[in-house]
Structure 1
Amino acid sequence: MHLLSEPDVSRILRNLTPQQCHILLDALSEALVTVSSETTEPEGERLIHQPLRTTITTKDTNLSLFMPVSNTASTGIKIVTASQREGIIGVINIFSPEGRLLGLLSAAEITAFRTALAIMTLFTRCTSIAKKHILIFGSGRQAEWHARLALLLVPSHVQRITFINRGRRRLEELEREVIAELRASHPEVVFATLAREGSDDAEYEARLRAEVASCDVIFSCTPSTEPNFPYGYLSSTSGPKQRFISLIGSYKPHMCEVDSETVLSGGGQIYVDSREACLEESGELIKAQVPGEKLIEIGELFGKLGKSQPVVVPEGCNVVFKCVGMGIMDLVIGKKLLDIGVEQGLGMNVDGF
């Protein structure tokens, strides 16, 4: 049994080569194709099993979530506990098909990485959409990994990345801990930040409008309860412009990262990781009253297109992708990272399991 701590996982992810990242991207895409293709299969015939998550709230108000999953080749469970004392702590357990414990991995970095990687499965295949100016709402690990992966997977396309956040302190931390490093490693890219806190309202809105109007890509990574910008800001350009818009921050029915007009700007179709989960959990889709038949699972899309064919984006339409995450993402990426850790001699091997 092999252990990978948070520093071990972080070291692996931050040193991924483009080739290694594409291997992870392909593995995740293949898993999503399998999930979508098996929705009508009898339970006993499926390769991937993702039971509903279970929660426990203790007398001390500590909340634990248990998320089991199997792809037949491996079985896993992610356990995440949220407490007032320690915040959020999680671990991913990976087992052989027969139940032998293969490894334990710290979950925080992996969760942020795999969600951003899920976005990249569609982002990299929308080849007709420009990627010069990327706008990222948020300042946490999710925001960080969207930037890192875009720079790793499409480095020649990116010219500017702007991070926008409501709070100033978190954005300043991101500047010190992440953006400074990215500036040094990507001197050809302009990095900018914009915080709502501490800014004059009129000045903030003017800058926000300008950033949204000029961007090609929007990665939204905020648990917001109100839209980060109005739809009108998208159309305030000198001419028509197609954009890639992804939403991963909101995960409850009352949350909403963008308004209904923005959600519906994909020409009548919205891409999702899981149709069922998004209809239940996505506040944007619920508010816009989007029916299930308007949602396209990216696993279905990739199954039809094959491994390398680009996604066709209708003229005058945006690409809108809502992703709430699935347990299979943790299992597939966790197992791959465990293998890399063993190969690189990172972590700790424990006998007796």
Structure 2
Amino acid sequence: MSVKTLLDPQVKSHFLKLSQAEVVSHLLTVQDGLTKYSENPAIVPPRTKVFTPRGDTMHMFMPVVDDVYCGVKTLGFNASSGLGFVGAITVLDPHTGLPRGVVDAKQVTGIRTALSSHIGLYKVKDKFADISKLHVTVFGTGLQAFWHSFVCAKIFSDKEIQLNVVYRSNKLNDEELLQSCSNVKTVNYVKGNSDQVADLCNNSHVIFGTLPTTDPSIFKRFFKESTHISFTYIGLIGSYQPHMHECDVELVSLFQEQGAKIIVDSKEHSLLEAGELITPGVEPSELIEIGQLESASDVKIEASIGSRSITLSKVVGLAIMDIVSAKKFVEDFE
């Protein structure tokens, strides 16, 4: 059996051409992997971080060992290279150990993160059944922001998407987005320090945070008690260290006070890495993993501010997401 090699341009071009049903298929595949993780976290062993003898390059090895999904994601970083984090995902046959494919990591990482933070949204998508125009606000303009915008537009392909992008300096690469998603008519850009940000959030059905910020960008006070928006889904993926916060403590505390669970990919990892959960002292019992959503349909995942209810999701990233997505891409090309 030949080993399939997929480079970033191939991954991007392929995913941009997928239909709504095909994007949902990728999403459900990631959900399956996260369900396996929730059932048995041991399938994701601890990652290894080592430096080359000269000490200028760091390498990370992130394995997954499961009966269905098996492989390793590798990342390297050298500050002087100017390349940022680069790496690959090796997909292995779990029964023989033979390699099935090697996939560039950059695009897959962006796609699998977007798919993961949409799983909770896909679960509650019927809340928007009677809405013809979905107001979506994305914080950030990088790779993660692009794929979150794309996946959202594809999942809600039957609705017009009013896309608002909150940015610092560079704007989103929206040309490819507009070409691939006919339901996104225009993109509205707003500076992060603008007074308009609060109103954008208050009038949004869906909000995504993709910025690795120390200080919050999304505040509880943005959401007024009296509003025509009855439900808002917030997905956060930008922060990945204890001192980082994408939303304020007050928004997270709202869920704690009302006994509503926050959706995460991993209770263990999110409480080690997500500052917005660590600072207010969120306990594991106050979280529900993405992989538990299907088996816990009666769990409360909405907090209320006046007449509006809010669901909050926080994804920090797991190697199982990479292996699952890379395997799906390899199968798409076989």
What TM-score do the two structures reach when normalised by structure 2? 0.88
Paired position in structure 2 for 1:55:
49
Q: Secondary structure at the match of 1:264?
A: helix
- Percent identical residues: 28
Equivalences for 1:230-309 in 2 at 5 Å? 230-235=219-224, 238=227, 241-266=230-255, 267-268=258-259, 269-305=261-297
Q: What aligned pairs does 1:120-135 form with structure 2 within 5 A after superposition?
A: 120-127=118-125, 129-130=127-128, 132-135=134-137
Aligned CA distance change for structure 1 residues 160 and 38 (closer, same or farther; 3 Å): same
Where structure 2 has 5 or more consecutive residues not aligned to the other structure, the ranges are none
Q: What whole-Å deviation, never above 9, does each CA across 1:223-270 have from its counterpart, x for those lacking one?
A: 000001332112275467431011111011011001011223344321
Measure, in 2, the Cα distance between the counterparts of 1:180 and 1:265: 38
TM-score, L = length of structure 1? 0.83
> What is the DSSP-based 3-state SS (H/G/I as helix, E as strand, rest coil) of the residue aligned with 2:74?
strand
Residue 110 of structure 2 corresponds to which residue in structure 1? 112
Q: Distance in 1 between matches of 2:140 and 2:105?
A: 20
1:214 has 2:211 as partner: no
Asked whether 1:96 is paired with 2:90, we answer: no
**In 1, are the aligned partners of 2:37 and 2:44 still within 8 Å (CA)?**
no
What is the identity, as a one-letter code, of the residue corresponding to 2:23? C
State how 1:219-230 maps to structure 2 within 5 Å. Answer: 219-230=208-219
Report the AA paired with residue 26 of structure 2: L
| Secondary structure, counterpart of 2:86 in structure 1 | strand
C-alpha distance 289-154 of structure 1, shift in aligned 2 (>3 A) = same
Out of 21, 25, 28, the residue aligned to residue 26 of structure 1 is 28
CA shift at 1:213, angstroms? 1.8
Tell me how many residue pairs correspond in the alignment: 317
Shift of 1:7: 1.2
Contact 1:225–1:254, Cα closer than 8 Å, also in 2: yes
- Residue number in structure 1 paired with 2:72: 77
Question: Do the aligned partners of residues 160 and 125 (structure 1) sit closer, same or farther apart at CA in structure 2, a change above 3 Å counting?
Answer: same
Q: 2:48 is aligned with what amino acid? A: T
In 1, the alpha carbon distance for the partners of 2:76 and 2:301 equals 41
In structure 1, the gaps of 5 or more residues are 44-48, 343-353
The residue type equivalent to 2:290 in the other structure is I
Taking a change above 3 Å as real, the CA distance of residues 119 and 105 of structure 1, as seen in their structure-2 partners, is: same
C-alpha distance in 2 between matches for 1:209 and 1:237 = 14
How far did residue 164 of structure 1 move?
0.7
Measured in 2, the distance between the counterparts of 1:32 and 1:277 equals 13
Q: Give 1:323's aligned residue.
A: 315
- 1:269-313 Cα offsets, whole Å, 9 max, x none, are 2111111111111100011111111111121121234xxx99874
Task: Show the counterpart of 1:159.
Answer: 161
Pick aligned residue for 1:64 from 59, 68, 79: 59
Q: Distance in 1 between matches of 2:301 and 2:313?
A: 14
In structure 1, distance between residues paired with 2:28 and 2:229: 33
- C-alpha change, 1:286 and 1:34, in structure 2 (3 Å) is same
Shift of 1:79: 0.5
Q: Is the 8 A contact 1:219 1:246 kept in 2?
A: yes
1:340 deviates by: 1.0
Aligned ranges for residues 159-178 of structure 1 at < 5 Å? 159-166=161-168, 168=169, 170-171=170-171, 174=172, 178=173
Once the two structures are superposed, what CA deviation does each residue of 1:88-123 show, in whole Å capped at 9, x if it has no partner? 211001111222121110000000000100111111
Structure 1: distance between partners of 2:208 and 2:70: 31
Residues of 2 paired with 1:238 and 1:101: CA distance? 53
Residues 65 and 80 in structure 1, CA contact (< 8 A), matched pair in contact too: yes
Map Cα deviations across residues 125-167 of structure 1 (whole Å, 9 max, x no partner). 113544711110111111001110011111223431111122x
CA RMSD of superposed structures (Å): 2.3
- Structure number with higher relative contact order (C-alpha < 8 Å, ≥ 6 residues apart): 1
CA contact (8 A) 1:214 1:237 kept: no
- Cα–Cα, structure 1 residues 73 and 105, in superposed 2: closer, same or farther, change >3 Å? same
| CA distance, structure 2, for counterparts of residue 135 and residue 248 of structure 1 | 14
Tell me the CA shift for residue 34 of structure 1: 2.1
| One-letter identity of the residue aligned with 1:79 | T
